[in-house]
């Protein structure tokens, strides 16, 4: 069976005040072309179809066009789940009707995990669909007060699946979360934390009974432990921490024994995301930019000494999509002053606030303050999701 695994489309996303929908339409048209070429048995979208729980109209229209092309013209079934950016209720609307057209979409996690079965010449392949939900919701669904973290929740989910799974058949799990193996995963700045207190890790060992686990959430394509557990990564670069990543689709070919072979099919965007550095006069020299795509999204680091007059205006006269502009010397000065300490980019909002509070006040960040800050940050995160 041939499977195309993708995820983290984030349709409707805005990056540094630039709307990405046109770029997403371009790359999704490329995706449709790859579907025509590969002719898979099924497509998996492992969450975060939209970037916000209330998606803008143009994002909904784009997803509708893409799904219509794949389902109605190419007759290729789609299995899609909600990610932490999606609205479970909105994504689930009409799902029972749409499955007759080959669209199996699960937004709301239920105790009875949905299983969808497709057959190839070797027999059935069972796909278990586990949409994103936070531990508090899972605790209610499973009526289990022992669920305090994502790891607790997934241990319970797999226990429920194990009661019914047929290990004589081939089985695939689809989910959206922060699964870790024996080494630190590759992270990106555009990934929203799943929890405030650092309880978002899920042990990869839980998925050992599945022939393949299709993951969403991390934006870099990567394996966890081995090729049987993989993130497809996002379809576009959504932050400058991703400039070195090559975006791709994961082509999974499963044989009669459930063994998988993996191929990555590179996606080539209309506009790439790059970081350029130098003195402003050098960057404006045609000899520097004439061999590049000046339409790319850029973070520009200027190395000039002294004051500059309207550097952003001059740069955008040549590079219209400059997203960020910074001065190297200023960066060095700011880094020397930060109270967050080394490794601040890897710290959670709560950890950063704790460091800030203790540095400014000189007082301990007590447990009661920790609880208040955690509650406030959680409310802000949820309000941003619904914005």
**What letter does residue 70 receive in the DSSP assignment?**
I
Q: What is the C-alpha separation between 107 and 95, in angstroms, rounded? A: 9
Residues 88-105 pLDDT 10s: 999 887 677 778 889 999
Inter-residue long-range contacts of 283-292, CB under 8 Å, 24+ positions, other chains counted: 283/315, 283/318, 284/314, 284/315, 284/318, 289/318, 289/319
Q: Map tokens 């695939």 to a residue.
A: 172
* Backbone torsions φ then ψ of 107, nearest 5 degrees: -105, -35
Residues 123-154 pLDDT 10s: 999 999 999 999 999 999 999 999 999 999 99
Instruction: Give residue 34's pLDDT.
Output: 98
Q: Map tokens 């700045």 to a residue.
A: 189
178 touches 151 (CB < 8 A): no
Q: What are the CA-CA distances from residue 373 to residues 336, 349, 354 (Å)?
A: 26, 10, 9
Work out the pLDDT band at 224, boundaries 50, 70, 90.
Answer: very high
Q: Which two tokens stand for residue 43?
A: 């497509």
Higher pLDDT, 387 or 116: 116
Q: What is the C-alpha separation between 245 and 233, in angstroms, rounded? A: 9
Work out the pLDDT band at 386, boundaries 50, 70, 90.
Answer: low
Q: Where is average pLDDT lowest: 19-23, 327-331, 332-336?
A: 332-336
Beta bridge partners of 55: none
Instruction: Give, to the nearest 10 degrees, the angle between helix 367-385 and helix 349-361.
Output: 130
Q: What is the C-alpha separation between 174 and 47, in angstroms, rounded? A: 9
Q: Which CATH superfamily is domain 2-266 in?
A: Metallo-dependent phosphatases (3.60.21.10)
What is the model's pTM? 0.85
Q: What are the CA-CA distances from residue 344 to residues 284, 347, 356 (Å)?
A: 33, 5, 11
Q: What is the C-alpha separation between 65 and 69, in angstroms, rounded? A: 6
């Amino acid at each position: 069976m041939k499977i195309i695994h993708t995820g983290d489309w984030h349709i409707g996303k805005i990056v540094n005040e630039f709307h990405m929908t046109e770029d997403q339409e371009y790359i999704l048209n490329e995706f449709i072309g790859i579907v025509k070429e590969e002719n898979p048995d099924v497509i998996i979208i492992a969450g975060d179809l939209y970037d916000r729980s209330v998606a803008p109209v143009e994002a909904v229209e784009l997803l509708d066009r893409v799904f219509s092309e794949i389902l109605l013209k190419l007759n290729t079934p789609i299995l899609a789940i909600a990610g932490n950016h999606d609205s479970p209720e909105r994504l689930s609307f009409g799902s029972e009707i749409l499955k007759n057209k080959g669209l199996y979409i699960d937004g709301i996690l239920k105790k009875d995990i949905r299983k969808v079965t497709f057959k190839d010449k070797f027999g059935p392949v069972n796909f278990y669909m586990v949409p994103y939900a936070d531990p508090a919701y899972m605790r209610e669904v499973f009526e289990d007060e022992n669920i305090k973290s994502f790891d607790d929740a997934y241990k319970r989910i797999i226990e429920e699946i194990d009661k019914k799974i047929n290990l004589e058949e081939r089985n695939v799990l689809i989910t959206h979360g922060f699964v870790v193996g024996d080494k630190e995963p590759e992270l990106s700045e555009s990934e929203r934390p799943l929890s405030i207190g650092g309880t978002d890790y899920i042990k990869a060992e839980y998925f050992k009974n599945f022939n393949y686990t299709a993951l969403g959430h991390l934006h870099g394509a990567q394996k966890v432990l081995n090729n049987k557990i993989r993130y497809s990564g996002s379809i576009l670069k959504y932050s400058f921490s991703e400039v070195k990543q090559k975006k791709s689709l994961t082509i999974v070919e499963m044989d009669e024994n459930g063994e998988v072979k993996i191929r990555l099919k590179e996606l080539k965007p209309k506009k790439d995301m790059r970081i350029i550095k130098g003195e402003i006069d050098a960057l404006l020299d045609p000899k520097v930019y004439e061999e590049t795509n000046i339409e790319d999204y850029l973070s520009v680091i200027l190395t000039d000494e002294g004051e500059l007059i309207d550097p952003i205006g001059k740069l955008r006269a040549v590079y219209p999509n400059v997203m960020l502009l910074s001065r190297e010397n200023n960066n060095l000065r700011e880094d020397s002053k930060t109270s967050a300490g080394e490794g601040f980019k890897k710290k959670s909002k709560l950890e950063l606030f704790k460091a800030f509070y203790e540095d400014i006040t000189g007082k301990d960040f007590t447990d009661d303050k920790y609880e208040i800050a955690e509650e406030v940050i959680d409310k802000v995160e949820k309000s941003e999701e619904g914005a």
